[in-house]
Copies of this chain bind each other. A is one copy, B any other.
Amino acid sequence: MTTASRRPRTRIQTRNRDAIMAAALDVFAAQGFRGATLDQIAEAAGLSKPNVLYYFPSKEAIHEALLADLMADWLAPLRAIDPAGEPLAEILAYVRAKLAMSRERSRESRLFANEILQGAPRMGPVLAGELRALVAEKAAVIRRWQAEGRIAPVHPVHLIMSVWALTQHYADFEVQVQALIDGDPWEEAERHLMHHFTRVLAP
């Protein structure tokens, strides 16, 4: 209390802060930033509205905290692509990891989709900075693999984006997917995408 730390210090602070983040993830993912209300977040967190604002200065601040948390984990699978690995196996592992992440963290995926759809008002700099740099780095790796004839010559950046599009689709458009698929969409999706990218990339 005498120190100006932004981090929660007591157990109760940690617990409530986490509860707010979890509740806000639910609400922002389902309704978008403008559609979400502090009332909804407070109720989902089991707190009063003023108490939520005791932990975060504003609705916007909660949203920003969620997005900041998101990016690190979100890019981990792409970071994990190993230039020294076997090309096709590396990329298929990436697809599998990204699909698993879409499945297990579909709310995060929709939070992100909402942000980008609205023109990335809060994450624009991250896209042009961190994301662009990482994609460029991995695109160079893929290009080298292609020059060595180890995978098919597909535009590397579009290839990476196609992995995003195809995996995130199952999370972001989940309602539509479930209206069209009777079984477990995720099981089918994994088989489909493995087969799909194997055909695209086999040299």
Contact = CB atoms under 8 A, between A and B. Distances in A.
A7 interface: no
A157 B180 contact: yes
Contact of A116 (B31, B124, B175): B175
Contact of A166 (B32, B166, B181): B166
Give the interface size bracket for A toward B.
35 or more
Contacts of A179: 124, 127-128, 131-132
Interface stretch (A49-57, A60-68, A140-148, A192-200): A192-200
A interface SS class: helix
Interface of A: 30-35, 110, 113-114, 116-120, 124, 127-128, 131-132, 135, 152, 154-155, 157-159, 161-162, 164-166, 168-169, 172-173, 175-177, 179-181, 188-189, 191-192, 195-196, 199-200
A153 to B, nearest CB: 9
A179 B134 CA distance: 12
A53 B116 CA distance: 30
Contacts of A127: 175-176, 179-180
B31 A188 contact: no
Contact of A188 (B158, B173, B177, B195): B158
A165 B164 CA distance: 9
A176 B161 CA distance: 10
Contact of A180 (B35, B131, B191, B200): B131
Contacts of A175: 116, 119-120, 124, 127
